[in-house]
Structure 1
Amino acid sequence: MTLLPSISFPSPSVLRIVATLLIASCAHSSWAAGPKDLKNSVWPTRPLRILVGFPGGSTPDMAARTLAEPLSRALGQPVIVENKPGASGNIAADQVAKATDDHTLGVVINGNLTSAKLLYPKLPYDPAKDFALVSLLTTAPLVLVAPAAEPGGAEFFNAARQGGSQWNYGSVGNGSVAHLGMELLKSRVPGLTPVHVPFAGNPQVVTAMLGGQIQMALIPPGVAMPHVRSGKLKAIGLAGGRSSLVPEVPPLADAGVTNVNLEVWTALIGPASLSKAAQARLAQEVPRIIRDADTRQKLFNQGWQAVGTSPDGLNSRVKDEAAILGGIIQSRGIKIE
């Protein structure tokens, strides 16, 4: 008869120790592969769309397209920028708010998140409830520009007063930061009364100025300065302090106009329905991309300061600026039907 070797089983106490170690090991592996390894997430599963509420070549469009390529590499999916201009960006913002495909995002400007609800009684979206905030992407000062033949400094404002309501100023739309900024400027310069003419985007504002239809506008440096440096437009001053983006342009305070401090910015948002996995992945990747040296330089060349905040950082900026713009809207009695 062949005898089977005896088998010795571990005691119950030893088994409990082994089981505890295995559970701890699995928990550690799960944690390590959690938020810090979001690249293994199944999202995104198809190409992403970034909707921009302004025409191609506008400053928000340039910021979105600068983000799109590196974001595509990081996510492993194509990122397509789609222009949906109109209503100061609110048409595109509304489409983002109502998106349910988990693959639609938006690059918006200040007004879409800060002042739109105050200006538009029938706004079809609620900025405070309908968006998942991702990141503040870029900021830029606003440059007051005029036709090249106009005088500079304080003399410009004397000429503007003499022009009265025969002078027009342009902006990217009713309720835009450029519009509100000009109304703030008018409140700071007695006798300044140019009439507002809205356009679809900053390129159209510049075209109108070059064609003599408007005499002044607040526009970002990325659009303004090529025309200023070529001698086609004149930079009167910055709505704020000096900026490394345009060191040659003095602040408006040098021309005697104080307390006009506004800048334009862009932000990446998604709909409130955006999945937690998508929000977390974007919150990880987007600030890293925006702060990358190569991206920062590209944005700087376009006239933007790269920022790249967390969702909380963007939320703080929205709240602070909503208070400022709300004051302008109330004090000037601005309403948009």
Structure 2
Amino acid sequence: MSRLVCRHSWLWLVALASAACWAQGAAPAAWPNQPLKIIVGFPAGSSPDLTARLFAEPLSKALGQPVIVDNKVGAGGNIAADAVAKARDDHTIGLMINGNLTIAKQLNPALPYDPLQDFAPLSLIGTAPLVLTAPVDPSGVSASARDFFAAARKGGDRWNYGTPGVGTVGHIGTELLKSRSRINPVHVPYPGYAQVASALLGGQLQMALLPPALAQAQVRAGKLRAIGVTSAGRSLLAPELPSLAEAGIEDFQLEIWNAFAAPASMPAAIRSRLAALIGDLARSQEMRDKLFQQGWQTVGSSPEGLANRIQADARLLGGVIAAHRIEAR
């Protein structure tokens, strides 16, 4: 995996250097001369779709052209990512989840696009931790996070954990957590997070990493308990919950995120303009508030910031993929 990252590192450096050289210049006078398309790999009403639509109207006003959200659903967002990678009209970008930009190719070498070669990063938009969630203790005693991990070590492979599928961030992240915490639950994949939560409620699972909104709804209803968040420290999205570092799990950080990326073929001057517009919009207080309501802690990074995050996560999660020989199914 590390060879995969290193092999293309120079491509990122060249692309970013090129973008920097054009940063003081303007996009071609005739651009945009048609609607801008944002391709999203998930259905209408999904989190990526809602985020893309938040940006569509203000981007349209800034560019003086319509901005269209185009949902190309399937293969965990990889169909849409491939469409972005192959776009050559200079008016197409993508709103993608972290898996498409970091681990997709490492899970499936036959993937028709290369995340590290075929995209130009624009801006990291929002991040969110996952929440380590468990059934409510039948004794009624609210055990500490340290007690939970002690019980998990004792439970060994008699415990099960659920995810929305093989190769998802929840799957790879839990395997990383297993190695950092010395626990050994067995993976049980489900079609989606809703089914994972149902299995937790039904007692078929002893633990799972869930998105904050889903976890908090069940925890506040008293139906599940939250052990901690997977971010390095406490998260503004769930400030009442400890980080797993507070539970003694050292050197562990895992977040889901979304980001805008352009085809690598898009001229650098156009990419620079789009990156600046998107970053400024993301960092505005109005957009921060709207993204927070969707369950995101806003970043609005530079292209360099997104490139660094992609490479860091590709190394971290790719190491788990290689160590456990995880393959897309």
Q: TM-score range by the shorter chain?
A: 0.7 to 0.9
Larger gyration radius, structure 1 or structure 2: 1
Q: Structure 1's 257 and 79: CA in aligned 2 closer, same or farther, altered over 3 A?
A: same
Structure 1 residue identity aligned to 2:160: W
Classify the secondary structure of the residue corresponding to 1:127.
coil
CA contact (8 A) 2:26 2:273 kept: no
Matched, 1:95 2:95: no
Structure 1 residue 157: Cα displacement: 4.1
Distance 1:117 1:70 in 2: 33
Distance 2:158 2:96 in 1: 32
Match of 2:306 in 1: 314
Q: Structure 1's 181 and 65: CA in aligned 2 closer, same or farther, altered over 3 A?
A: same
Match of 2:208 in 1: 217
CA contact (8 A) 1:170 1:216 kept: no
Structure 1 residue identity aligned to 2:240: E
Classify the secondary structure of the residue corresponding to 2:217.
helix
CA deviations over 1:46-84 (Å, ceiling 9, x no partner): 333322223444433333232223222222233233333
CA contact (8 A) 2:156 2:183 kept: no
Distance 2:36 2:197 in 1: 32
Match of 2:251 in 1: 259
Match of 2:296 in 1: 304
Classify the secondary structure of the residue corresponding to 2:106.
helix
Structure 1 residue 122: Cα displacement: 0.8
Distance 1:204 1:69 in 2: 34
CA contact (8 A) 2:149 2:183 kept: no
CA deviations over 1:131-168 (Å, ceiling 9, x no partner): 12211111122211234467653444456564845634
Classify the secondary structure of the residue corresponding to 2:93.
strand
Distance 1:335 1:98 in 2: 24
Among candidates 187, 194, 219, match of residue 186 of structure 2: 194
Classify the secondary structure of the residue corresponding to 1:309.
coil
Q: Structure 1's 273 and 36: CA in aligned 2 closer, same or farther, altered over 3 A?
A: closer
In the alignment of these two chains, the number of paired residues is: 301
| Gaps in structure 2 of 5+ consecutive residues | 1-22
Among candidates 115, 119, 134, match of residue 122 of structure 2: 134
The TM-score with structure 2 as length reference comes to: 0.79
Structure 1 residue 277: Cα displacement: 4.5
Structure 1 residue 108: Cα displacement: 1.4
CA deviations over 1:176-222 (Å, ceiling 9, x no partner): 3222111111223434223231535x456445655666553323324
Distance 2:117 2:174 in 1: 29
Distance 2:65 2:218 in 1: 37
**Identical amino acids, percent of aligned pairs:** 52
Structure 1 residue identity aligned to 2:217: P
Structure 1 residue 44: Cα displacement: 2.5
Among candidates 169, 175, 186, match of residue 177 of structure 1: 169
Q: Structure 1's 285 and 191: CA in aligned 2 closer, same or farther, altered over 3 A?
A: closer
Distance 1:193 1:256 in 2: 18
Distance 2:200 2:293 in 1: 23
Structure 1 residue 42: Cα displacement: 2.8
| Gaps in structure 1 of 5+ consecutive residues | 1-33
Q: Structure 1's 221 and 191: CA in aligned 2 closer, same or farther, altered over 3 A?
A: closer
Distance 2:72 2:218 in 1: 26
CA contact (8 A) 2:123 2:279 kept: yes
Worse-superposed segment, 150-159 or 107-116: 150-159
Match of 2:221 in 1: 230
Paired residues for 1:1-337 under 5 Å = 41-148=29-136, 152=143, 153-157=145-149, 160=152, 162=155, 164=157, 167-171=160-164, 173-199=165-191, 202=193, 205-206=196-197, 209=200, 214-239=205-230, 240-336=232-328
The TM-score with structure 1 as length reference comes to: 0.77
Distance 1:85 1:252 in 2: 34
